[in-house]
């Protein structure tokens, strides 16, 4: 979700095994090309889509793509697995079994997860340095984060705090995030929507730079691709030049409120690269007709939703 809401991502023949192994190794360290089987939607290809990351849910409509919360989709027996053998049990989600049902009818399933924010209510929350059993015990806006903590100030969403994305600090929590991507891959998600990677312009509680933010976006995309997942660039388009730097690393984009804030043109490099932009503006903050005109002008696959997005309200800018 946006950080301060108005309402609260040709096979080639080779002759030797060594060449194949070398190519596989290289693909683990950089984004894969668009011909390796990932979902890489072009503008208009999945125009009939929906985004629901909170109840109530409405999944009876046969859409080209649904974007749903990873933990809500988790089946019974799900686990987050970490280097060294540690495991965190994941409770059965309210939408357990939905991934299989949607994919059986030909729908692409994108799994939403936070990769740049700590969520106090998630099953893996205690693994983040700085976690406290009571959220009120974690320093918030105006208070210095504790030494060694990667948990910053509130994002504007209940129970959610910015993470310390500085290059020298992210190693303290990166494996927690990668375990979430592993879970998405095991669950059969076609791709992921990684959220809250854009602390710049907000109050994260840490002196995060533009280079920190852009490099973290890039790392998240590469880690998703290494697991065979499609990945979208969520927000971050407000930083000048960031889209041009990152478009080659992502398969699609999902910007919030670009029409409301006059920023839709900044996503143009995605469309020019043949990659879909799933734009969302919110009612009542944005005028539906004005927002849809802005989406259509840029050849975006746009929706008008309420925040947080549920199955209750959806207007397609078709």
Tens digits of residue pLDDT in 289-309: 999 999 999 999 999 999 999
CB of 196 closer than 8 Å to CB of 3 = yes
List the one residue out of 306, 295, 287 whose CA is nearest residue 263: 295
Count Cβ atoms below 10 Å from residue 299 Cβ, excluding itself.
16
How many residues would you count in the chain? 318
Q: What is the pLDDT of residue 29?
A: 34
What is the secondary structure of 68-118 as a DSSP string?
EEHHHHPPTT-EEE-TTS-EEE-PPPTTTTHHHHHHHTT-EEEEEEESSEE
Whether residue 71 contacts residue 90, with contact meaning beta carbons closer than 8 Å, is answered with yes
Q: What is the pLDDT of residue 14?
A: 32
Is the pLDDT score of 269 beyond 70? yes
Tokens of 296: 């259509």
The whole-number pLDDT of residue 21 equals 37
pLDDT of the residue at 46: 99
Torsion from C-alpha of 138, 239, 173, 52, nearest 10 degrees: 80
pLDDT tens for each residue of 186-231: 999 999 999 999 999 999 999 999 999 999 999 999 999 999 999 9
pLDDT value at residue 198: 98
Rg (CA), the chain: 19
* Interacting residues of 63 by C-beta distance below 8 A, sequence separation 6+: 48, 49, 50, 107
Q: Find all residues with CB under 8 Å of 92, minimum gap 6, and list them.
A: 74, 75, 76, 77, 78
Tens of pLDDT, residue by residue over 149-167, are: 999 999 999 999 999 999 9
Per-residue pLDDT tens for 18-76? 333 333 333 333 333 334 699 999 999 999 999 999 999 999 999 999 999 999 999 99
Cα distance between residue 264 and residue 300, in whole Å: 9
Q: CA–CA separation, 134 vs 85, rounded Å?
A: 27
Residue where the block lists tokens 């854009």: 198
Looking at CATH, the fold of the domain delimited by 45-316 is given as TIM Barrel (3.20.20)
Residue 318 has a pLDDT of 83
- The secondary structure of the chain in percent helix, strand, coil, rounded to multiples of 5, reads 30, 20, 55
pLDDT confidence tier of residue 10, bands split at 50, 70 and 90: very low
Query: Residue 248: how many CA atoms within 13 Å on its side-chain side?
Result: 4
**How far apart are the C-alpha atoms of 109 and 67, rounded to whole Å?**
6
Read off the pLDDT band of 126 (50, 70, 90). very high
Coil, helix or strand at residue 120: coil
**Closest by CA position to 55, among listed 308, 316, 315:** 308
Computed over every residue of the chain, the mean pLDDT equals 91
pLDDT at residue 55, rounded to an integer:
98
pLDDT digits (tens, 9 = 90+) for 136-151: 999 999 999 999 999 9
- As a whole number of angstroms, the distance between CA 30 and CA 11 comes to 18
**Beta bridge partners of residue 142, listed in sequence order:** none
Per-residue pLDDT reduced to its tens digit, 245-266: 999 999 999 999 999 999 999 9
Predicted model pTM:
0.89
Q: What is the pLDDT of residue 36?
A: 67
What integer pLDDT is reported at residue 91 of this predicted model?
A: 99
User: What is the rounded CA–CA span in Å between residue 13 and residue 16?
Assistant: 9
């Amino acid at each position: 979700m946006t950080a301060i809401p108005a309402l609260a991502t040709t096979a080639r023949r080779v002759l030797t095994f060594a060449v194949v192994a070398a190519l596989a190794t290289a693909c683990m360290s950089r984004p894969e090309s668009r011909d390796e089987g990932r979902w890489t939607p072009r503008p208009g290809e999945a125009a009939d889509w929906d985004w629901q990351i909170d109840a109530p849910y409405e999944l009876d409509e046969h859409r080209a793509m649904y974007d749903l919360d990873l933990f809500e989709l988790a089946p019974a027996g799900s686990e987050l697995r970490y280097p060294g053998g540690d495991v965190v049990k994941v409770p059965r989600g309210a939408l357990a079994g939905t991934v299989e049902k949607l994919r059986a009818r030909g729908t692409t399933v994108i799994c939403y997860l936070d990769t740049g924010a700590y969520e106090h209510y998630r099953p893996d929350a205690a693994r983040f340095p700085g976690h406290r059993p009571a959220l009120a015990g974690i320093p918030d806006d105006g208070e210095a984060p504790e030494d060694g903590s990667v948990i910053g100030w509130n994002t504007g969403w209940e129970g959610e705090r910015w993470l310390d994305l500085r290059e020298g600090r992210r190693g303290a929590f990166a494996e927690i995030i990668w375990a979430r991507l592993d879970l998405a891959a095991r669950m059969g998600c076609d791709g992921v929507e990684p959220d809250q990677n854009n602390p710049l312009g907000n109050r994260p509680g840490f002196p995060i730079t533009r280079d920190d933010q852009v490099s973290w976006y890039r790392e998240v995309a590469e880690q998703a691709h290494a697991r065979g997942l499609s990945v979208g660039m969520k927000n971050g388009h407000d930083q000048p030049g960031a889209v041009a730097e990152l478009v080659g690393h992502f398969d699609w984009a999902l910007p919030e409120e670009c029409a409301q804030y006059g920023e839709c043109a900044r996503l143009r490099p995605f469309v020019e690269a043949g990659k879909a932009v799933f734009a969302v503006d919110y009612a009542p903050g944005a005028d539906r007709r004005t927002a849809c005109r802005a989406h259509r002008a840029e050849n975006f696959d746009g929706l008008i939703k309420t925040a947080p997005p549920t199955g209750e309200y959806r207007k397609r800018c078709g």
